[in-house]
Chain A
Amino acid sequence: METFTKILSGLQNYTLFVKDIIRGMFRCFKYKDDALREMYLIGAKAFLVALGGGLFVGIILAIEVGHQLELFGAKTLIGRTVSLGMIREIGPIITGLLLAARTGAKNTSELGSMQLSEQIDALRAFGTSPVDRLIVPRVVAALIMFLPLTLIADITGILGGMFITITTFHMDVSFYWHSALDALLLKDLFVGFLKPFFFAFFIATISCYYGIYTKGGTTGLGKNTIKAVVSSSVAVLVIDFIFTKVVWEVM
């Protein structure tokens, strides 16, 4: 019962926190320099993570799928499977999970140590809203940067698939591209490009929430960083499930 009350109270606090963030987003231009700095830190600096993650997942996907399709003489479908898989599911998920770890840990540890060293209290004491100053730029930066990073993962994944198709399955590159592009419909692109915005919002708000409510010294900070990464990762998977279910049922 106590745990249930704790979870409910946590959800209530998180909802109120999100409400403050949404209000603060209308004033986000005030701290545009901070948002730009965050965009660089969580976006530009994560370029290689998205590139590497996407590339290797694309390669693995092509190898696994290719061997199975080869049994049925359907190697020409490798491109289709890789492109659909990358754009609709694996690209957004792998980027979401990698960024949940990278951005989530960064946000929670930074804000948590600011909370523990009274820097957040100092902001409030001197009449500055910590949500407007520290949280909103991080959320805005995540919302802007997650889509380009997902695109990088998608493209490199498809390129990785192409590399395997040519080198391992000895297929012509034009077959691969024809199969890959032919499979993609507008709704696939829509779903694949909409997911990163939801992932970004939840990863950024969850990690900032755990950061700003850090208590209990360095042990508390460590615990909250773990909670932030785990919760953000679970949120990514749950949102992806909801999207997939809705897409197959409705669209």
Chain B
Amino acid sequence: MITLNNVSLNLEGKQILNNISLNVCEGKTAIILGPSGAGKSSVLRVILGLWRPQKGTVIIDGEDITNKSENQLLHVRRKMGMVFQGNALFDSLTVAENVCYFLKEKENLTEKEISFRIKESLEFVNLEGTDDLYPAQLSGGMKKRVAIARALAFKPCILLYDEPTTGLDPINAKSIVELINKVKESGTTTIVVTHILQDAIILGDKLTLMNNGKIVETNTVDNLLNSSNNFVQDFFFEINQELKILKHKSVI
């Protein structure tokens, strides 16, 4: 469904991605993990065609989009939904208008169908009754939910999340993770980019760890925990320590 072959990206003379290869099959979930500045969000931007790589190919649903123009990319982008790190909600529009913004623009739906989609999407993210509120009137967690509802309203076959729980309190973060899991169950191909290890472990069986624009290792959580790679060991240090404490307690 999504394939990146040896993708390299330079922006303003700085190497952002270095020979990245990634393959996500239809209906599967990929978790991209790594510290800030590792190039995780850039991978999503390359997949969306917002940034064009200098080397390598990007294939979405069997179509090579690497060198497509903005107009040629439109129909490919309509297959994808994106939840931005900062939510990217339109401040001047209400929640309902944000959710239906792209529906009105792109789909040939009647007003009744659009209202149904708004209701359906907001119910899915547990935000019934917030239709007339503006983004400024919402909490961080609620904004994130609206961003997810907006991406879902489209009924995309690919959903991309950029740091979905960053900046949220633990309760809201947990509910967003649960929501992402709920969306995954519907068979949507998902890519989640995060630097929060706990979220990554809950959301995916197989994790891709990135650092300095390169993929360090792609493996299951168990294998990563036992990896001999120094960077992987450093990144998983805290979790390993917690696991050791838990094991120690269970022995006692």
Contacts and interface: CB of A to CB of B under 8 A. Distances in A.
Contacts of B87: 118
Interface in B85-108: 85-91, 101-102, 105-106
Interface string A209-231: 00000000000000000000000
A117 to B, nearest CB: 6
Nearest to B82: A125
Nearest to A117: B86
B105 A125 contact: no
Interface in A100-119: 117-119
Given A124-B50, A126-B82, A128-B105, A118 B88 contact: yes
Given A127-B74, A127-B75, A129-B70, A122 B105 contact: no
A122 to B, nearest CB: 4
Size range of the interface on B? 20 to 34
A122 B86 CA distance: 11
A84 B191 CA distance: 66
Interface residues of A, number: 11
B48 interface: yes
Contacts of A125: 48, 50, 77, 80, 82, 84
Given A127-B78, A127-B106, A128-B102, A118 B84 contact: yes
B154 interface: yes
A128 B82 CA distance: 13
A188 interface: no
Contacts of A126: 77-78, 81-82, 101-102, 105-106, 154
A127 B77 contact: yes
A117 B85 CA distance: 9
Contacts of A121: 45, 50, 84, 88
Contacts of A119: 88-90
Contacts of A122: 82, 84, 88
Contacts of B89: 119
A121 B81 CA distance: 12
A151 B207 CA distance: 65
Contacts of A124: 48, 50, 70, 77
Interface in A118-163: 118-119, 121-122, 124-129
Nearest to B156: A126
A217 to B, nearest CB: 12
Contacts of B82: 122, 125-126
A27 B204 CA distance: 44
B101 to A, nearest CB: 8
Nearest to A129: B70
Given A118-B88, A124-B70, A128-B105, 15 more contacts: A117-B86, A118-B86, A118-B87, A119-B90, A122-B88, A124-B77, A125-B77, A125-B82, A126-B77, A126-B101, A127-B73, A127-B77, A127-B78, A127-B105, A128-B106
4 closest A-B pairs (Cβ-Cβ)? A122-B88, A118-B88, A127-B77, A126-B102
